Structure 1
Amino acid sequence: MIEMPPLQFADVNGIRMGYYEAGPKSDKPPVILCHGWPELAFSWRHQIKALSEAGIRVIAPDQRGYGATDRPEPVEDYDMEHLTGDLVGLLDHLQIDKAIFVGHDWGGFVVWQMPLRHLDRVAGVIGVNTPHWDRMPADPIELFRQRFGDKMYIVQFQDPGREPDRIFGSRVEQTFDAFMRKPVARPAGTPEEQPIAGVGASARLNLAFPQMIANYDAKHDPRTPILSPEEKQVFVDTFAKTGFTGGINWYRNFSRNWQRSEGLDHTVRVPSLMIMAENDAVLPPSATEGMERLVPDLEKYLVRDSGHWTQQEKPDEVSSKLIEWRRKRFG
């Protein structure tokens, strides 16, 4: 049985946002859980249950373009101003002054931006796998293209013809079968994948995700699935209905976000926790090196034997760490 609180809706920042809430309303500061791509608030099901049972107020939205939340047409409606503005709007709707923002994958990029743009609404930040970096020295899409070539998925996602959206959208079950698995463990002594600022991953990793999905056959995949058949069906049913364009539009704003962040002070001035996953090939622990310069009040924690989907691969460990850090820092 999959446990999720009832779905609720809020009108925020020009869209209708679906969200889930649990735990005592009196608890302050509450915890806002922000998912990545291609995911949903449902990705935090284990943490919603554990944190609320520990007496912590927890809120998990389907973010703009995903699940029960609106999917506006214009690509620019998915830039960082909109994504952070949605979370401020959610706080306003719930009459919350400040919150601790937790983000995994793309949600991590968003929550690290919250204290840069809306400091008065942020009590603390927790990045899960996604580190906080300084502004890149050049347009990130050009850097990705130089480093990884035109087939790298973020470069492909810039395609105005939206071919990647079509590939994923016509193979929804294949997409989640392929992505939501534990990585093959690295033999001892193997060097970690070397990251690139703004996105991890080495050239050894196949980053041509659309082609990988187009040619994928689960029968030949030796990796262990993370999701039960029932859990996988939640993702498949939702994305079959919504498609992937909303989430991919976040990637289509990499250059715009970079241009518009010129002059923004990238120092994070709130208590912060960085949860790293030992075997995440795209956002490896080495990607967090030097974060302390930009995040002076930082604790780091390594989840061993976990790949990219950390809060679903190691739910108890991640939940325990969130609860422990929250109590230590906020009582």
Structure 2
Amino acid sequence: MRDGIRFGKAQVNGITLHYAEAGPADGPPLVLLHGFPEFWAGWRHQIPALADAGFRVIAPDQRGYNLSDKPRGVEAYDLDRLADDVVGLADHFGIAKLKLVGHDWGASVAWWLTTAKPERLERVAMINAPHPWVWRKAMREDAEQKKKSWYVQMFRLPWLPEAMMRSRNWRGLSDGLVSSSRPGTFSDDDFADYRVAWSRPGAVTAMVNWYRALLKKRMPESLPRIKTPVLLIWGLGDQFGAVSGAEASLALCDDGRKLFIEGATHWVQHEEPAQVNAALIDFLRA
């Protein structure tokens, strides 16, 4: 138990996922999916607020991260497997239809589920990530996104990205978080927790393999319309994602809503937690 947070493990899709849980056991279940390079604690500003609002909040370490299993090989991090992990987690908790929130890569997985298995979703909120189909297309065709995604192309290389991130006590990763966020967004305590998670055997390669798998994935020529209600929250100072990708993703939705926040970055859930939490509660309660 940590500040009202309970911890557990679930056997899911052939692996073990570690998760944090908070809120009433009989509350509406809500799954939170973190992104790169965080873990469940990337939701530290959201978990208490959502639990206090009555949700049963479940925040897993996604595969490859922190205390969850880290299967070897790039193919283990294909979007379909990542999406199946979420469905398996829902099955573990007996959840027929999910309320789901994702940030960064967690939002990419959430977007993919809206396409692959919409029958398992009730409402989905994405934070600062376009649909991966849009993202892949934009990295080829959109000049602004090409510029913002330079680091993704570097992740194609073997071993070098991992070595750069590990160097100088993980300065590559921690400096990246600092330079892409508002001053003071991440504390020394946050970085101490992150370094522990990044240092777990196999974690850094697994984290990079999410990108390698996306770059290798064969995408369909087109997508079906997304009928699940979607809320897209976007910090407009995002150094990694062009807002054109946000708009293109919303254009795939029959019921897409947006909250674009001036002055916030890719890490908007950390920088503007009160505004983000209020928007999530309002959307997810409907």
TM-score by length of 1: 0.78
Q: Which amino acid counterpart does residue 168 of structure 1 have in structure 2?
A: M
- The alpha-carbon deviation at position 50 of structure 1 amounts to 0.5
- The alpha-carbon deviation at position 45 of structure 1 amounts to 1.2
**1:134–1:86 CA distance, 2 compared to 1 (3 A):** closer
Report the number of matched residues: 283
- The alpha-carbon deviation at position 285 of structure 1 amounts to 3.1
1:248 maps to which of 208, 216, 220: 208
CA contact (8 A) 1:97 1:121 kept: yes
Larger radius of gyration: 1
Provide Cα deviations, 1:156-176, integer angstroms capped at 9, x if missing partner. Answer: 11113x111111123344134
Q: Which moved more, 1:63-72 or 1:311-320?
A: 311-320
- The alpha-carbon deviation at position 135 of structure 1 amounts to 5.4
CA contact (8 A) 2:128 2:232 kept: yes
CA contact (8 A) 2:138 2:146 kept: no
- The alpha-carbon deviation at position 136 of structure 1 amounts to 7.1
**1:142–1:169 CA distance, 2 compared to 1 (3 A):** farther
Q: Which structure features the higher share of helix residues?
A: 2
Provide Cα deviations, 1:259-302, integer angstroms capped at 9, x if missing partner. Answer: 1x326634211111010102112124343224343111011112
Q: Which moved more, 1:262-271 or 1:272-281?
A: 262-271
Q: Which moved more, 1:133-142 or 1:85-94?
A: 133-142
> 2:156 maps to what in 1?
158
Q: Give unpaired runs (5+ residues) of structure 1.
A: 185-222
Distance 2:137 2:129 in 1: 20
Distance 1:176 1:268 in 2: 34
Q: CA RMSD in A?
A: 2.7
Distance 2:262 2:250 in 1: 21
> 2:88 maps to what in 1?
89
- The alpha-carbon deviation at position 139 of structure 1 amounts to 10
CA contact (8 A) 1:172 1:239 kept: no
Q: Is 1:237 aligned to residue 196 of structure 2? A: yes
Alignment of 1:1-331 (within 5 A): 3=3, 5-28=5-28, 30-132=29-131, 134=133, 147-148=146-147, 152-160=150-158, 162-181=159-178, 183=180, 224-242=183-201, 243-257=203-217, 259=218, 261-262=219-220, 265-327=223-285, 329=286
SS at match of 1:252: helix
- The alpha-carbon deviation at position 183 of structure 1 amounts to 5.0
Q: Give unpaired runs (5+ residues) of structure 2.
A: none
- The alpha-carbon deviation at position 138 of structure 1 amounts to 6.5
